[in-house]
């Protein structure tokens, strides 16, 4: 998926070239040599040696000719380039996307089983929400809505974390590690683009953000991907101030084409962060009683997305 959203050979070329550029010869046990290198990182012929293929073959691969390449060879290239799990999966996704000839299409929106919303609502001590691969928040519990209130309260962002991150001036304050938050957001979208490159809703979102944000454009061009399963997230919430929360994410079932991910934020019992979560829960309860407040999950879960 290039900057306009459509998948092409440039994705394969740029992904492999950027991975190759970051590796030094000593990292893979090769001599640096006495001559000055014209390009950063490894040369193509060095990657070919490490992968056990010819230089001509690897050069063709890096130019985007990936159709028909065996899984064993792709795995060898992944090892040669020191790809992590997310990057290796991305390479295989790019290879898979190169096989069919398809056109972008809109997805059948995910429909959450009622039991999933019940599960969210039962998680009273954790801030939890469910998102799709485009980073739309499609459902949440009360504490999740309170935690992500800046994202959900602005109708223009349509409950999309990426839009908030790159188009809302409040994001730099809400996410103390703002640069890291932008990096993660783009890496997650790039990962989803490799997994589902013909998703018209996703390509439209990428095109919108690329048009409106230089920060997004520069990061999209880096071709970074990542898994986002567990870790620590820093917030500066407008109600409770700085709060650091552990997060854990897992895929959940749905009907429709969208891949859905449930993310829960928690804090150790009795910690300062736990106390702030309790304060946020109290604020949410009071807020839900105010006239015109949003007390249910994000509207539009069962409606076609127009992103």
For residue range 193-224, list pLDDT tens digits in order: 998 888 889 999 999 999 999 999 999 999 99
Residue-level pLDDT at 287: 82
Q: Which homologous superfamily does the CATH classification assign to the domain defined by 9-97?
A: lambda repressor-like DNA-binding domains (1.10.260.40)
Residue-level pLDDT at 38: 72
Residue-level pLDDT at 306: 36
Residue-level pLDDT at 292: 60
Which of 93, 94, 98, 61 minimizes the C-alpha distance to 77? 61
Phi-psi region of 300 (alpha: psi -120 to 50; beta: other; left: phi over 0): left
Domain with CATH 1.10.260.40 in the chain: 9-97
Q: How many residues does the chain have?
A: 307
Residue-level pLDDT at 258: 77
- Hey, what CATH topology would domain 114-288 get? Beta-Lactamase (3.30.450)
Which of 3, 204, 1, 6 minimizes the C-alpha distance to 103? 6
Instruction: For the sheet with 127-132, list strands across it.
Output: 137-140, 127-132, 260-266, 241-252, 230-237
pLDDT tens for 3-47 read 544 456 888 999 999 999 999 888 988 876 655 667 779 999 999
List of the chain residues with pLDDT < 70: 1-8, 32-37, 100-110, 254-257, 290-307
Residue-level pLDDT at 226: 94
Domain with CATH 3.30.450.180 in the chain: 114-288
Residue-level pLDDT at 102: 57
């Amino acid at each position: 998926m290039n900057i306009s959203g459509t998948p092409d050979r440039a994705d394969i070329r740029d992904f492999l070239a950027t991975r190759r550029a970051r590796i030094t010869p000593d990292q893979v046990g090769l001599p640096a040599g006495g001559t000055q290198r014209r390009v950063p990182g490894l040369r193509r012929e060095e990657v070919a040696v490490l992968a056990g293929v010819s230089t001509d073959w690897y050069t063709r691969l890096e130019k985007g000719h990936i159709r028909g390449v065996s899984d064993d060879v792709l795995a060898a290239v992944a090892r040669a380039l020191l790809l992590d799990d997310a990057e290796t999966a991305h390479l295989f996704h790019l290879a898979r996307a190169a096989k069919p000839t398809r056109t972008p299409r809109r997805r059948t929106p995910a429909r959450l089983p009622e039991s999933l919303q019940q599960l969210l609502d039962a998680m009273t001590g954790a801030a939890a929400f469910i998102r799709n691969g485009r980073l739309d928040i499609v459902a949440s519990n009360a504490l999740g809505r309170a935690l992500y209130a800046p994202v959900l309260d602005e109708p223009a962002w349509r409950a999309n974390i990426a839009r908030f991150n790159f188009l809302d001036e409040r994001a730099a304050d809400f996410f103390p590690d703002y640069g890291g938050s932008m990096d993660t957001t783009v890496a997650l979208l790039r990962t989803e683009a490799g997994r589902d490159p013909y998703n018209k809703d996703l390509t439209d979102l990428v095109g919108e953000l690329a048009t409106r944000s230089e920060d997004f454009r520069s990061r999209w061009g880096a071709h970074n991907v990542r898994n986002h399963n567990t870790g620590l997230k820093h917030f500066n919430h407008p109600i409770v101030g700085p709060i650091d929360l552990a997060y854990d994410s897992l895929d959940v079932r749905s009907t429709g084409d969208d891949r859905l991910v449930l993310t829960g934020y928690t804090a150790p019992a009795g910690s300062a962060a736990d106390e702030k979560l309790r304060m946020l829960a109290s604020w949410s309860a009071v807020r839900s009683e105010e006239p015109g407040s949003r007390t249910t999950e994000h509207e539009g879960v069962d409606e076609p997305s127009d992103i």
